[in-house]
Every structure is written in C-alpha cells, then in structure tokens.
A and B are shown apart, each in its own frame.
Chain A
C-alpha cells in the first residue's frame, strides 16, 4: 500500500493484482445489474487466472456466463441471469442444463435483503418474497420467522449473503476509494461492498478527490473509502455492458458474444481470445 502525498492511503492497483488477492473456493459478489455496469475488466482478469470452485453472487449478466464458460464456477447465487436486450445467457444456460453449476436461486429482493443483512452484520433480514414459491423448496435451508408483534405474520428469514470479495465498476473514483456513479442507477454496488471482506472498485477514470467533487454531486458518491480496499483504473472497463453516461451497451459485441456462446466448438474460441485481449 503506497502512501499518497495527502497522507491518505493510495489504493490504486492493477486488475491482475486484484485477482492475485482472490483464492479458489471464494464467494465473490459482482456488482451491476444484468448487462449493465458490470466490472468486465476485473472479470477478464479473473478469466485469465487459474481460479476455480467460485461461488458467484450476482444480479447476473455476461459476468456469470463468462465465468461459467471458463469452468470457474461451482455455484451461482442469483435471482436471474440475463443479457437484458437478449433474454438468456447461452453459457449460463448450458452450464445449468449440463449440471455443471449449482443455482442457489432467490427472488431478486431476497438477494438484496441477504446483502443488506451481511453489511449490517445481521444473521438474516425478514422479507415476504419467497413465501409459497419454489424458492423455498429449492433452498431447503431457508427458514421462516414469525413476527413477534401483532398478527404474528410469517416471513422469510433471508440469511446474510457474506462475500469474501466484491468486484464493482463505477464511473469515477479517487485513489483512496471514494467513488461515484454518474448514470441514473446506483444498482446495488454499495451493498456488495458492505457485504464483502475485500472490496475492489474499477472505474472509467481515477481522478483527484478535488476533481471527483467537481464531476459528481455529493449524493452520487456511492462508495466512500472505508468501503473500498483497491481501486483500478479501467477505461471502458464495463464493456460490452453499459456504463451510462460514459457509454451505452455495445449491442453488436453483445450479439457476437451470445452467438459465439451458442457455438462453443466453432466461433467461441476465436471470439474468446479476441475478447480477453481487448482492453
């Protein structure tokens, strides 16, 4: 850890250094939503590593598909996996249909509750979502609680989703880990960081704290430095997913990804090689 001229810790590092701090079997939370603001540069660095047996917690998009394609995933904790403009991720579909990954499937709101519980050091948070659905059947360890008040309503006790590491991508960050989203939606990147033991943020540009203040209103500063352990500058680091307002989703590249993913023995190897090499 370098010392910054201001005396504050300088948390700048490379994507490969981030991945060097991860271990096999870890539970890794990946920020963004579907095919939106995914930390694809960090995911690519992970793909270049020998990581295996990962549990991935994600509002799933191509991050999940790519890690499944590389055979690195043992378990996916999610409410969905989708490329948004393309409904299904072909790699995730194949991994599930071939029985290669286990899905711990929850309602989206339950995943949010699980991340919140982990961030607040609570064993669980109550939520209505899940009651009566097959989510209860597929996750037999899920328990319900009864309200100690009023009508003793039965609620799902969503267990904390504790993460060993969180990977998120924002628009701007300073070297200390303060970071801002400049698009309309923060997604749940703050919750991922709060739920994780080690927190890594990639960003389009690392700027000084002073410049960060100028570029982003205070309420857009989603992460503060006590929520972040490492900052990676990765221009275009969410591509081909969207990173508003810096860029939209690269629909052409996403189509190429999905088409190649449907053709694992044909188009995929060449696509994958090209994709990993691109910054």
Chain B
C-alpha cells in the first residue's frame, strides 16, 4: 500500500530541505515552521552534518538532545564567521533579492511598523541567505522594497540563494542576478506565479518542483511533524 500523495506543504518542506544541499557542517537557521521542518529533513537525508538550534540557546543533535551551547552572542560570532545559512521571512522582496522586514512607508514615519531590520543586514553580507514566503503575492514580490533590511544582489554583496514560496521555487539566475522561476509546485501554472509576482520574472526553462520521496514523506509524517502542522501553514 502506498502512502497518500504529497500535499503542497510537503512539497514546500522538501524544497526548503533542498536549500541546504551541499552546505555541510554549518549552522542552519530556519525561521518558521516550514523552513524548520525542511532543515530537519535535510539533516535526516542528504546533509547529516548540519547544525541546528532549538531557537533558544542550545544546539540539538539528531536525537533531539543538546549537543552544544549557542546563546545569541555566539550566533553573532557564527554570522561573522560565515558558517551559516539562514532562511528568513520577508514582508517585501524585489527582483534583486532585497528584503524588507522593517517598515512599510517612509522610515521616519512608517505607515506600518514591522519587526525592524533584525539581523538581516548582517546575515546577507556574511553568509548564504534564502527566503520563505508562505503567501506568494504581488504585495510581497514588489518592484522596489520600502526598506532594504536584507541586502540583494544589485548592492554588491553576498549570496542570496533561493526563494521558496507556496507556489514555486525561485533563484537569482536571471540577467544580472535577477529573480528567475526555477520550478512551480505540482499543479501550479507558470501564469499563476507571474500573476502573483509584482515584477517581470524570467520563466524560461522553469520545471516542476520535485515531489518528496516516500522515505522523506515517511520521516515528515511519522517523525518530524506527526500533528501535520505544516498543512495548516500551507493549505
């Protein structure tokens, strides 16, 4: 008897897991449920050397037990060392990978105050950064961000790796490192992604996002997220 087919959320988790391919023995810092499940899935499959924190001050091994101490002050040391891959959220993202989590409107008097830049400026000039966007829409994918928190490719710095959304996987392989559609999730049309993106997207050569294997689905469903919280985040 075969398992039920992968849900959209499970495709997103596997796409987040794939972000860490080749990363080796570095700190994976996924923000949010889907990227966290992705990082843990990556560690159980192709990337066993990844380090993961509990979101407080500990590094947790594959068995869920403490294997190290990582208070905030040490996180900043890791950031500066470059041995880290963060998956952040984004209130706004532009085609160069500039990210805004600070505010909407002018900074001296915003129409909406958000979190603040947090560690985004430091992350994006020090190490690999990816983004997770649970609702792919023109409100997020904008021609120009109101505030540059995370630094994009046009500003001369690091490596913004990929963007995973509820609809697609994107990278910065377009002309001059602009955003390009890498794959749409099964059942999503390229036109839908285009319509939900507020700027012109390079779509030539886009494929279909890989469906998780039975082993990956088994790990996800039985071990990592038996309550299926993932399916509530991405219906």
Contact = CB atoms under 8 A, between A and B. Distances in A.
Indicate whether A and B interact: yes
A81 interface: yes
B80 A134 contact: no
Interface string B105-133: 00111111111111111101110000000
B122 A132 contact: no
B71 A127 contact: no
Interface string A26-67: 000000010000000000000000000000000010000000
Contacts of A60: 116
Contacts of A185: 56-57, 71-72
Given A109-B80, A132-B156, A134-B102, A184 B57 contact: yes
A105 interface: yes
Range for the number of chain B residues in contact with chain A: 35 or more
Contacts of B122: 107-110, 127-130
Interface stretch (A11-19, A89-97, A196-204, A209-217): A89-97
A79 B79 contact: no
Contacts of A186: 71, 73
Given A99-B108, A185-B71, A132 B148 contact: yes
B232 interface: no
Contact of A88 (B57, B115, B117, B151): B115
Contacts of A78: 116
A187 interface: yes
A188 B113 CA distance: 25
A129 B149 CA distance: 11
B11 interface: no
Interface in B71-87: 71-73, 76, 79-80
B151 A131 contact: yes
Interface in B124-173: 124-126, 147-151, 155-157
B102 A105 contact: yes
A81 B103 CA distance: 12
B117 A105 contact: yes
Nearest to A183: B57
B228 to A, nearest CB: 21
Contact of A107 (B103, B113, B117): B117
A75 B149 CA distance: 20
A79 B126 CA distance: 17
B156 A97 contact: no
Contact of A187 (B71, B103, B120): B71
B8 interface: no
B148 A107 contact: no
Given A131-B157, A187-B72, A108 B119 contact: yes
Interface in A175-229: 183-188
B194 interface: no
A248 B121 CA distance: 30
B177 interface: no
Contact of B111 (A97, A129, A134): A97
B52 to A, nearest CB: 16
A149 to B, nearest CB: 17
A106 interface: yes
Nearest to A33: B72
A133 B110 contact: no
Interface in A66-101: 78-82, 87-88, 92-93, 96-99
A112 interface: yes
A82 B115 contact: yes
A96 B57 CA distance: 31
A135 interface: yes
A67 to B, nearest CB: 15
A230 B72 CA distance: 26
A138 interface: yes
Contacts of B76: 108-109, 112
A185 B73 CA distance: 9
A135 B148 CA distance: 8
Contacts of B79: 109, 129
A103 interface: yes
A215 to B, nearest CB: 19
Contacts of B108: 99, 102
A96 B105 CA distance: 11
15 contacts: A105-B102, A105-B116, A107-B118, A107-B122, A108-B119, A110-B121, A110-B122, A128-B80, A132-B125, A183-B57, A185-B56, A185-B71, A186-B71, A186-B73, A187-B73
Given A132-B124, A133-B117, 5 more contacts: A79-B117, A112-B73, A129-B122, A129-B126, A132-B121
